[in-house]
A and B are shown apart, each in its own frame.
Chain A
Amino acid sequence: MDWASRKNKFSSSNTLARQPANPQKIGTQCRGHHRRTRRSPDEITMFQHKDQRTASRICEKSISSCALFGLINLERRRVTCNEALRAISCMSERGNGLGAGFAGYGIYPHFTDAYALHVMYLDDKAKRKVEKVLMRDFQVLLGEEIPTRRARSTLHAPAFWRYFLEPARSKLQEEEASPDEYVVSRVMKINGEVEGAYILSSGKDVGVFKGVGFPRDLAEFFRLEEYRGYMWICHARFPTNTVGWWGGAHPFNLLDLSVAHNGELSSYDVNRRYLEMWGYKCVMHTDSEVISYALDLLLRRHAIPMDLALAVLAPPYWDEIDSMKCEDRDLLTALRRVYGELAMIGPFSIIAARHGEMIGFVDRKKLRPLVGGVRGEFFYLSSEESAIRLISPTLDNVVRPRAGEAVIARCEAPRAVAMLSTLNQKEV
């Protein structure tokens, strides 16, 4: 069943339809909902316990190794995440059941112009606080609990809600911010200031579903079979710390940018400090979070094109820069000089996605695997080729980005899959 067709069914029972709604009324309904889904008392204690532990870990990075998988239909035809799920599950050696997640693009066709906020709540208080902010700063088109069902390993799941929003017009004008800027500032505020509330995704027509468990458990829990998207990014995690922390799972998202990461960033502290100077708040206790903020800063706020942004994240060596021709050398020297602190140092392979675009790239020593495959209008990225071959035994083309290289797939004309090394693009 498609999410769209299910919408009606839910809107009657469990949904808050709130066009210019009455805050009072919503408040009651929120509480009402929570009464209905109250956990048993010992579950709650366990849960609070976990929450406290999380709070004390602030600013600590957790390190992990992972499986990545991404799939895009270059014609923007929407598919279920079934194939992606099979593929990510096949790389079971790379995950240990302590974290998995999915980002779906094109999954909310009825709200393509509204910002879809996926929010994770650790308690009721957080929810009340967040909804107060949302009511004040946005026109809330719809707010509802994300439908879930019980699944293995998701016993102690926090609550997940989603809201479809438009920035309140008067406020937007008052702040003279672009709508994106406006949304990001709220996301950062809520993530940074409201204890127990975490915004997992905030783009239009995008949603992130993630948590503690194996990919299959999470897909089951979030009823992912009910969604269709033209692009799916999946992640399975092997965190080296054992605390199951739902917010620490990938992908990380900001607006329509999602990032799934396999690796460890030795440069995390430097990256985080730099991004904090630009107003980003790192709250998920995971090094990978900074990648999405770094890309947001470069691509959206500083209008740096993708290939150069990647040259910031995985910078070419000075030797290479020195031997470039004059203008290129100046350009790349400037990028390394200004954004040196955004270089992601450490082993990584990363899948990043924006609407109509999926990018895979690896660190400049290529210490983690990544492989891409093209079949017809589909393009896949994966940690292992076996996962791609599982769902598509024959491929038109296989691409393997070398150290510091990227592979990029675009839906928009010119529709293409291309290998990207600094200032150099080659179609495949």
Chain B
Amino acid sequence: MRNRAASTYIVLRKEDKCTKCRACVEQCTYGVHSYNPAKNVIESKSWLCSNCLRCVEFCPTGALTITRNPNSYRMGHHWNHEAIMDVKRQAETGSALLEGMGCDGPNLTYWDRLLLNACQVTNPPIDPIREPIETRVILGRRPPRVELKPENRRLMLKNELAPYICAETPILLAAMSYGAVNLRVQEAMARAAIECGTYFNCGEGGLHPELRRYGSHIIVQVASGRFGVDIEYLNSGVAVEIKIGQGAKPGIGGHLPGEKVTEDIAMVRMIPKGTDALSPAPHHDVYSIEDLRQLIYALKEATEYKKPVAVKIAAVHNAAAIASGIARAGADIIVLDGVRGSTGAAPKAIRDNMGIPIELALAAVDRRLREEGIRSEVSIIASGGIRSGADVVKAIALGADAVYIGTAALIALGCTLCKMCYTGRCAWGIATTDAELSKRLNLEEGCRRVANLIKAWTMEIKEMMGAMGIDTIEALRGNRELLRGVGLTEGELRVLGIKVAGE
């Protein structure tokens, strides 16, 4: 049975404008467009279209429009178009639905219900163009106090402080593995990180020898598959991140199908070419918090205690208790990934239903660590659904030291959020390792655009900090006084630790 009647999108082509140049046929990676020589027309299979807009961008005459299909199933609130489509897709395939990117369900965005304070009269705002406003953040374990000793008639530090990394902006680039994205994407990210004085997380797929020269701005990840992990890898970045879970698919591992494991990826991941790269759901050496402690210290030993170790978890219901355990297990940085976090491929059911919004998880973790008096000893990086400089400011005010951005950085590279990443046929040359498709991405241009994005957000952050009369990130971190909520329930306000607007 075909499900074409109500395909989500339809392709409209103005025949009088179309010159039959076939650009759309070449650009579309999902086989939507084809040329029919008999009739000399371009035909489009709308039901295959994901609205990635690649063809529209490349049509030289502007003949194409992609629009939502006015033929829709009878509109309901409960049985809406998406629900019906999903059932039909599953009835046809008999398998779990896969999708790329993050959960996009309604009512999960708290950023929009948080508002920021600004200075009026009693406290002069600061103009970021004329006065310094500092966005530098230091990530890593902090001792509870500074101890000094006199030496040569002056005071010196008594103990060397634990290793740390120092970013000039609180925006870091989130983990994207080689395999989920191609090498150009990784290189663009790494170079943008260097340009902005921040860091790129290379994800769980190892670090390509080509990229090791950017090591000074790379955080390497160790996930349950341990792909590409050896002593050289661990020491090639500035920090090591243990990935326990991610917001898009908490509690499950990963699966890179064998056909995507090219020779190059096989080499970097240290697996045979053409075999499935499976990340198990748990780390099979971490079944408890004590085990995690051992893994943290094994990695610290391997890196001679010169690099901070981060632990990334998905924001789940008891994230606060887990984070406290992680801090006590010796992690230097805790990464929280909210329900909106993105991925290359995840079962839709898990992506959309598991985990909690980062705003609530972050506030809860921050409060729990404060109550236990250990908040200032670890750093927190928040990720999952950060869309703007304002979201970054709000995340920091809720207690984050810094944020990871993934989706936003991909959008800067050209991603149109079509959610087809799981196919490996990304028309924009991003979520694909296909050699030809990868060429669609211009490295220089991509690097410039990601760097631009970080710079623009950093400027926005400075402007907002200035308006609040704050000139260091430290004075913003966890500053709930600066936040007010609108349209939130008592319970939500309590968890967020903020007052309602007007109070």
Contacts and interface: CB of A to CB of B under 8 A. Distances in A.
A317 B134 contact: yes
B480 interface: yes
B134 A302 contact: no
A345 B122 contact: no
Interface stretch (A22-30, A155-163, A243-251, A264-272): A264-272
A341 B477 contact: yes
Interface string A35-68: 0000000000000000000000000010111000
Interface stretch (B25-33, B62-70, B141-149, B425-433): B141-149
Interface in B437-487: 468-472, 474-482
A153 to B, nearest CB: 23
B119 A266 contact: yes
A427 interface: no
Contact of A302 (B131, B146, B478): B146
Interface stretch (B155-163, B253-261, B346-354): B155-163
Interface string A330-358: 11011111111101011100000000000
Interface in A264-285: 264, 266-270, 273-274, 276-278
A304 B143 CA distance: 15
A337 B377 CA distance: 10
Q: Give the most central of A274, A304, A340, A347: most B CB within 10 Å.
A: A340
Contact of A367 (B124, B132, B477, B482): B124
B103 interface: no
A65 to B, nearest CB: 7
Contacts of B478: 269-270, 273, 341
A315 B472 contact: yes
A217 B31 CA distance: 86
Contacts of B370: 273, 276-277
A134 interface: no
Given A61-B481, A330-B157, A347 B146 contact: no
A330 B154 CA distance: 13
Interface residues of A, number: 45
Q: Give the most central of B132, B370, B469, B477: most A CB within 10 Å.
A: B469
A386 to B, nearest CB: 23
B489 interface: no
A308 B479 contact: no
B90 to A, nearest CB: 48
A304 B470 contact: no
Interface string B116-159: 00010111101000011010101000111111100000111100
Contacts of B472: 267, 315, 340, 343, 345
Contacts of B502: none
Nearest to B137: A340
Contact of B143 (A268, A338, A343): A338
Interface string A180-211: 00000000000000000000000000000000
Contacts of A347: 123-124, 469
Q: Give the most central of B142, B161, B472, B482: most A CB within 10 Å.
A: B472
A52 to B, nearest CB: 17
Nearest to B138: A337
B419 interface: no
30 contacts: A263-B123, A264-B122, A264-B123, A266-B479, A269-B481, A269-B482, A270-B476, A273-B370, A276-B370, A304-B146, A304-B148, A305-B148, A317-B132, A318-B134, A319-B132, A327-B154, A331-B148, A331-B155, A334-B146, A334-B157, A336-B138, A337-B161, A337-B164, A338-B376, A340-B138, A340-B474, A345-B471, A346-B469, A346-B470, A365-B131
A348 to B, nearest CB: 10
Nearest to B140: A337
B393 to A, nearest CB: 13
Contacts of A274: 376
Contacts of B126: 365
A341 B474 contact: yes
Given A266-B123, A317-B134, A331 B157 contact: yes
B76 interface: no
Given A337-B164, A345-B472, A270 B477 contact: yes
A291 to B, nearest CB: 14
B123 A308 contact: no
B373 interface: yes
Contacts of B184: none
A63 B481 CA distance: 13
A11 interface: no
Closest 7 CB pairs of A and B: A340-B474, A267-B475, A269-B481, A345-B475, A266-B469, A264-B123, A277-B373
